[in-house]
Chain A
Amino acid sequence: MLARVAENLYWMARYLERAEDTARLINATTMLLMDMPRGASFGWEDLLKVVGLDEAFHKHYDEASETAVMSFLIQDERNPSSIFACVRMARENTRTFREVLPRESWEWVNELYLYTSTHLGHALDRRKRFEVLTEIIRRRQAVVGLLSGTMSRDDGFQFMRLGRNVERADMTSRVLDVSYAINLPYQNSQYYDLIWMSVLHALSAHQMYRRHVGVHARGHKVLGFLLNDLLFPRSVRHCLHEIQFALGELPGAEPMRRLQGMLDLVDRADYRALAANGLHEFCDDIQKRLADLNGIISQTYFRAAHPQKMSQSLFSLV
């Protein structure tokens, strides 16, 4: 597989995952806000913090009103993580490797883009938002399903799997980190359950949590579920396992070695203690390690695509 193509596949999967995760997060937040007590401190500003875009937002907007935040997260091209920017980049990337994917995948990614570019304006209106974002999620999932059902498990497939899961693990740790901090003031109030449940909602994890863990959202159990559950596909542990499978099919040993450290970390953590103290440092550690893994993945596989950064002697002949 060409290094350039591998890199484009990896990022295409990351962009699409980011678009979907953002859509889910916005939907969950819109719902949660309707449950919160009048005058609660949680607001749109906090949502920007959850996705790590508060600074970028204030470069272009003054006040974090609902309209401004939604516009920034959904359709503003100045925000490279906005849903529209992600879908557009995923589509541009897909154009460069149409030949490695089953033919319909380009068509479906292109349709996702066409839908997104014509409907996002409606998503600014609260009443239409849920409908439009859900349709985007549906169409993105159709692409994932199509690939899963029609594409050989070749190197290209593994790079998309890597990108998807690195992005998803990152999103899970971020949402957990920030929404916990934001919700902390309510720890001993009647909203305690509600707040942990909202964290689960933000990650579309509430239903599986109820089914596999319990109906009450207890801090340490939620943390254990979102960080270390083997079966839930958005838990950090599950994402790491997916990364492990993908790396197992690809050449090179270094990414796997780095991954092991992260697996040990989530496996050995004391979630009861973390629920009371130190969650921020823990999530920070995970995010740093994911960034590190991302760096090692590009070093190992994509290096050849950037001739200016390397000399030919780095290649091994095969």
Chain B
Amino acid sequence: MMKIDCGTYPLTGGFDELLEAAGKPRPSAEGLCDYFAGLPADELEARHRAVDAAIMAAGITFTVYSEAGNIDRAWPFDVVPRIIEKSEWDGIEAGLKQRLKALNLFIDDIYHEQKIIQDGVFPAEVLADSKNFRQACVGANPPFGVWAHICGTDLVRDGDGTFYVLEDNLRVPSGVSYMLENRQLMKRLFPELFARYDVLPVDSYTAQLYDMLAALSPRSGDRPEIAVLTPGVYNSAYFEHSYLAQQMGAYLVEGSDLVVLDDDCVYMKTIEGLTRLDVIYRRVDDDFIDPEVFRADSTLGVPGLMRAWKAGKVGIANAPGSGVADDKVVYAYVPQMIEYYLGEKAILPNVPSYLCMHQEDCDYVLANLDKLVVKPANESGGYGMLIGPKSTAEEQATFARLIRENPRNYMAQPTLSLSTVPTLCDGAIEPRHVDLRPFILQSKDINVTRGGLTRVALRRGSLVVNSSQGGGSKDTWIVQGVI
């Protein structure tokens, strides 16, 4: 029997987002537990089925790369929302804005005078070994001095209830479309719940994204030509690229749809010939965007795009080279950056990090591989990680070797006891670990999504929330107060 019963919910001892103790919901979750308690089991089951059907019909999918070929999977969605009170959220929002401002000042500094290095706050050797530093970007002046326009910051809540920043995704962060879709699904399937809560809406995101991009246009005028640049239909996030283009009324283009002419302007190949393009929201990695400058074998990019961007003839978000700050070693220095550039204390704490480039840290990491989470500096999507407590001796040996070979490329963090949220698993309600990815937009103004994408590790005990590795998601509610 499918039933959400807060009374028999098996708490794990860590921080649960909805319940303080078994049978005792947090004040913001009382209405929710109440509602689910009154929902007949067959009704819940019917709605659960309706969610799956709606996701299949809408074709909300992501692609998983595997040896057996690429598989289009339906987006796994859990019906129990995660609730955060607005008073708490306000602090997080301020912390996220502070962080992105500092990161953008850092990137701009790194591609100009590098004062932060001269002043001894940031070590030169970290930059020297950075895979994502782009020589071609040195001296470039994007509008407003902003490089990372769209940032997806991963937050986790530890056992004591504190939110920590786990990482800043500044290259081509994805997931925002799922955040928007999750809300649509919840509104369709549980309209009664919205009558009990004052949930802050999330759907202003696409308008804010449009405004943010429009502010990057090199030409004045009300309606700049904006396009989302996608690697194509086989990319795992193609659904999102298409979704965002649709929601903004923008073009969805592939590299082969664009051409840069001798005037350094970017043009789209249309049915009437060439039309000038003002702003590109690119979802293609730096390496592939311009075969003239980066990987020459790339067919996903546009020859001459960097030339056009540096000449100020086209806006590109995120700016090429902004990935320099999306590095798990650079991450460890963000609190110092905030102090250095803004003269403020970091509002959101970092997870304590051990950088293997420092001998002392490295020794500690090698001695405690069974307790730590080891991450490579430049990977995303949860690939190439070692989760110490769940690893075998063999895996630990492999990582010890990798770390000794290239210490700069590895960092480690203590294993956090990620907070849990009640989740419907095979008809029963069980705690599952979650993280939270809010999205921050910055060009002329700076905006944060209300809430973000809550990703959930659907396997019992698992801490890996990435959709490519068996993760799902939940709707995230920032609530003003219970009605």
Show the binding face of A for B, using Cβ within 8 Å. Answer: 1-6, 92, 95-100, 103, 106-107, 110-111, 114, 155, 250-251, 300-302, 304-305, 307, 312, 315-318
- Closest A residue to B246 by beta carbon equals A99
Quick one: CB contact mask for B235-265 with A, threshold 8 Å, 1 for yes?
0001000110110001111101101010000
Question: Are B269 and A3 neighbours in the complex by a CB distance under 8 Å?
Answer: yes
Is the CB of B483 closer than 8 A to any CB of chain A? Answer: no
Question: Are A1 and B59 neighbours in the complex by a CB distance under 8 Å?
Answer: no
In the bound complex, residues from chain A placing their C-beta under 8 Å from that of B59 are: 95, 106-107, 110
Is the CB of B268 closer than 8 A to any CB of chain A? Answer: yes
Partner of B242, one of A3, A99, A110, A155: A99
In the bound complex, residues from chain A placing their C-beta under 8 Å from that of B270 are: 1-3, 304, 318
- Given the known inter-chain contacts A98-B242, A99-B246, A114-B56, please indicate yes or no for A304 contacting B273, CB distance below 8 A: yes
Closest chain B CB from A22 CB (angstroms): 25
Closest chain A CB from B267 CB (angstroms): 8
In the bound complex, residues from chain A placing their C-beta under 8 Å from that of B58 are: 106-107, 110
Bound: A258/B379 CA distance, A: 56
Question: Are A305 and B269 neighbours in the complex by a CB distance under 8 Å?
Answer: yes
Bound: A304/B253 CA distance, A: 13
- Closest B residue to A305 by beta carbon equals B269
- Given the known inter-chain contacts A2-B268, A304-B269, A304-B270, please indicate yes or no for A318 contacting B57, CB distance below 8 A: no
Bound: A106/B268 CA distance, A: 24
Closest chain A CB from B270 CB (angstroms): 6
Closest chain B CB from A101 CB (angstroms): 8
In the bound complex, residues from chain B placing their C-beta under 8 Å from that of A97 are: 252
Partner of A2, one of B242, B243, B246, B253: B253
Show the binding face of B for A, using Cβ within 8 Å. Answer: 56-59, 228, 233, 238, 242-243, 245-246, 250-254, 256-257, 259, 261, 267-275
Question: Are A107 and B242 neighbours in the complex by a CB distance under 8 Å?
Answer: no
Question: Are B274 and A318 neighbours in the complex by a CB distance under 8 Å?
Answer: yes
How many A-B pairs have beta carbons closer than 8 Å: the answer is 82
In the bound complex, residues from chain B placing their C-beta under 8 Å from that of A304 are: 269-271, 273
- Closest B residue to A251 by beta carbon equals B272
Question: Are A251 and B271 neighbours in the complex by a CB distance under 8 Å?
Answer: yes
In the bound complex, residues from chain B placing their C-beta under 8 Å from that of A100 are: 246
Question: Are A2 and B269 neighbours in the complex by a CB distance under 8 Å?
Answer: yes
- Of all A-B residue pairs in the complex, the 3 with the closest CB atoms, nearest first, are A304-B269, A99-B246, A99-B245
- Further pairs besides A1-B271, A251-B272, A315-B269: 14, Cβ < 8 Å: A2-B251, A3-B257, A4-B254, A97-B252, A99-B243, A99-B245, A99-B246, A110-B59, A250-B271, A304-B273, A305-B269, A315-B274, A318-B270, A318-B275
In the bound complex, residues from chain B placing their C-beta under 8 Å from that of A107 are: 57-59
Partner of A301, one of B56, B245, B252, B271: B271
Q: Could you list some 9 contacts between A and B, CB below 8 A?
A: A92-B233, A95-B59, A95-B242, A97-B252, A98-B246, A99-B243, A99-B250, A302-B271, A312-B261
Question: Are B275 and A312 neighbours in the complex by a CB distance under 8 Å?
Answer: no
Bound: A307/B56 CA distance, A: 36
In the bound complex, residues from chain A placing their C-beta under 8 Å from that of B261 are: 312
Question: Are A316 and B273 neighbours in the complex by a CB distance under 8 Å?
Answer: yes
Bound: A302/B59 CA distance, A: 28
In the bound complex, residues from chain A placing their C-beta under 8 Å from that of B269 are: 2-4, 304-305, 307, 315
In the bound complex, residues from chain A placing their C-beta under 8 Å from that of B245 are: 99
Bound: A256/B95 CA distance, A: 61
- Given the known inter-chain contacts A301-B271, A304-B269, A312-B259, please indicate yes or no for A99 contacting B57, CB distance below 8 A: no
Bound: A307/B268 CA distance, A: 12
Bound: A1/B273 CA distance, A: 10
Bound: A2/B253 CA distance, A: 8
Question: Are B273 and A110 neighbours in the complex by a CB distance under 8 Å?
Answer: no
In the bound complex, residues from chain A placing their C-beta under 8 Å from that of B257 are: 2-4, 305
- Closest B residue to A106 by beta carbon equals B59
In the bound complex, residues from chain A placing their C-beta under 8 Å from that of B242 are: 95, 98-99
Closest chain A CB from B298 CB (angstroms): 15
In the bound complex, residues from chain B placing their C-beta under 8 Å from that of A3 are: 257, 269-271
Bound: A83/B243 CA distance, A: 28
- Given the known inter-chain contacts A95-B233, A110-B59, please indicate yes or no for A6 contacting B271, CB distance below 8 A: yes
Choose among B58, B246, B272, B273 the residue with the greatest number of A CB atoms under 10 Å from its CB: B272
Bound: A293/B256 CA distance, A: 26
Bound: A2/B227 CA distance, A: 11
Bound: A250/B253 CA distance, A: 21
Closest chain B CB from A110 CB (angstroms): 5
In the bound complex, residues from chain B placing their C-beta under 8 Å from that of A300 are: 271
Closest chain A CB from B443 CB (angstroms): 22
In the bound complex, residues from chain B placing their C-beta under 8 Å from that of A4 are: 254, 256-257, 269
- Given the known inter-chain contacts A2-B257, A97-B252, please indicate yes or no for A103 contacting B246, CB distance below 8 A: yes
In the bound complex, residues from chain A placing their C-beta under 8 Å from that of B272 are: 251, 316, 318
Bound: A103/B177 CA distance, A: 14
Question: Are B273 and A318 neighbours in the complex by a CB distance under 8 Å?
Answer: yes
Closest chain A CB from B69 CB (angstroms): 16
Bound: A278/B205 CA distance, A: 64
Closest chain A CB from B63 CB (angstroms): 12
- Closest A residue to B265 by beta carbon equals A317
In the bound complex, residues from chain B placing their C-beta under 8 Å from that of A312 are: 259, 261
In the bound complex, residues from chain B placing their C-beta under 8 Å from that of A98 are: 242-243, 246
- Closest A residue to B271 by beta carbon equals A301
Bound: A85/B252 CA distance, A: 26
- Closest A residue to B269 by beta carbon equals A304
Bound: A6/B256 CA distance, A: 15
Bound: A95/B275 CA distance, A: 24
Bound: A301/B272 CA distance, A: 7
Closest chain B CB from A209 CB (angstroms): 38
Bound: A95/B242 CA distance, A: 8
- Closest B residue to A301 by beta carbon equals B271
Closest chain A CB from B206 CB (angstroms): 12
Bound: A99/B243 CA distance, A: 7
- Closest B residue to A317 by beta carbon equals B274
Bound: A1/B253 CA distance, A: 11
Closest chain A CB from B82 CB (angstroms): 26
Question: Are A315 and B233 neighbours in the complex by a CB distance under 8 Å?
Answer: no
Closest chain A CB from B453 CB (angstroms): 20
Bound: A106/B259 CA distance, A: 29
- Given the known inter-chain contacts A107-B57, A107-B59, A312-B259, please indicate yes or no for A99 contacting B252, CB distance below 8 A: yes
In the bound complex, residues from chain A placing their C-beta under 8 Å from that of B56 are: 114
